[in-house]
Amino acid sequence: MALTGILRPGHAQLRVLDLKESVDWYSNVLGLKNMGTDKQGRVYFKAWDERDHNSVILRQADQAGIDFFAFKVDGVASLNKLESDLNAYGVKTERIQAGDLLETGERVRFEIPSGHLIELYAHKTDVGNGQSYTNPEAWTSEAEIGIAPTRMDHCLLYGPDIEKVQKIFEEVLGFYLVEHVLLPDGGADLAIWLSTSNKAHDIAFVRHEEPGKLHHVAYLLDSWEKVLRAADLMSMNRVPIDIGPTRHGITRGTTIYAFDNSGNRFETFSGGYEAYPDFEPITWTFDEAGRGIFYHDRVINDKFLTVMT
């Protein structure tokens, strides 16, 4: 599909309990590149193969979790139109000046019914991936530091009113439903997976009574072998693993879920199918949700359902 309007996930700002320890953890265990610190003390990171200046921002806080999740759009005209469309739909927006985040242009921020803050922006400085734009090599030495994902890929958020969230994403922002899990009565959804591209999902939501919760931020790896390597590195560094390595039924990706040093869950994954907006959404009934989430185990562990930040 032609990528117009919203292009892809752009950045996530996470709250951590010990910033110094987290900088070391995200640099050397997860293997992101430290891109600097702003006047507020927030620390910026990018994955080795990302070209924009940052995709993960950490700030010191008393409680772990997520402050906001952002998407990059294809230009200022789209940013202005999407803000106008959100306002016309009844969604209040806030303009945040360029430079509030390092190397990032003006942002449009709004709260969705699940209690999460979403941002849109058109500009972030292209710093490259350490390779030439002419005749590049296959990878750089940074691809061997820690787990070394190629990009920050998506997030899963927990909160109420996900049917209202879905309408905003579909009717205003141009996303489409890829897969969903039904509640036991089949009358509404427990979880939804939404895409703005041809990925199986760019963001997902699970119905939960408490608003504004983070389940995980996900990082893409090149292959199943890299997922297994990530598992080895997690064990070497005593990273608490939730589940995996295993496979999803939903999206068909191979995956590990684990926790950073503040208790924020993260995912390292590879694979999954390509999606297109003309595809019929895949439906999972509640009795098969275990197989949908963890295809090999066919059951969902209690920690996966109940632990979030």
One digit per residue, pLDDT tens: the chain, 309 residues?
457 799 999 999 999 999 999 999 999 999 999 999 999 999 999 999 999 999 999 999 999 999 999 999 999 999 999 999 999 999 999 999 999 999 999 999 999 999 999 999 999 999 988 888 988 888 888 878 999 999 999 999 999 999 999 999 999 999 999 999 999 888 899 999 999 988 889 999 999 999 999 999 999 999 999 999 999 999 999 999 998 898 887 888 889 999 999 999 999 999 888 888 999 998 988 887 778 777 667 777 777 777 788
Residue 258 near residue 240 (C-beta atoms within 8 A): yes
pLDDT at 219: 97
Query: Is beta strand 65-73 parallel, antiparallel or unpaired with respect to 56-60?
Result: unpaired
pLDDT at 1: 46
**Residue whose C-alpha is closest to residue 203's, from 69, 99, 94:** 69
267 is catalytic: yes
Options 53, 116, 208, 216, the catalytic residue = 216
One-letter-per-residue 3-state SS of 266-283: EEEEEECCCCCCCCCCEE
Looking at 3.40.50.720, 3.90.1200.10, 3.10.180.10, 3.30.2130.10, the CATH number of the domain 151-306 comes to 3.10.180.10
257 is catalytic: yes
* DSSP E strands, the chain: 6-16, 33-37, 43-46, 56-60, 65-73, 93-96, 107-111, 117-121, 151-159, 176-182, 189-195, 203-207, 213-220, 241-247, 253-259, 265-271, 282-284
Note the pTM of the prediction, 2 decimals. Answer: 0.95
pLDDT at 64: 97
Options 180, 201, 208, 215, the catalytic residue = 201
CB atoms within 10 A of CB 164: 12
Options 11, 53, 180, 248, the catalytic residue = 248
What's the fold here for domain 6-137? 2,3-Dihydroxybiphenyl 1,2-Dioxygenase; domain 1 (3.10.180)
Options 11, 53, 116, 154, the catalytic residue = 154
pLDDT at 284: 86
* 139 residue type, one letter: W
Where do you find CATH 3.10.180.10 in the chain? Answer: 6-137, 151-306
pLDDT at 295: 66
CA distance 90 to 99: 28
180 is catalytic: no
* 100 residue type, one letter: D
Residue 216 near residue 256 (C-beta atoms within 8 A): no
273 is catalytic: no
295 is catalytic: no
pLDDT at 186: 84
215 is catalytic: no
**Whose structure tokens read 């996470």?**
14
**Residue 212 DSSP SS3:** coil
Beta bridge partner(s), residue 131: none
pLDDT at 2: 55
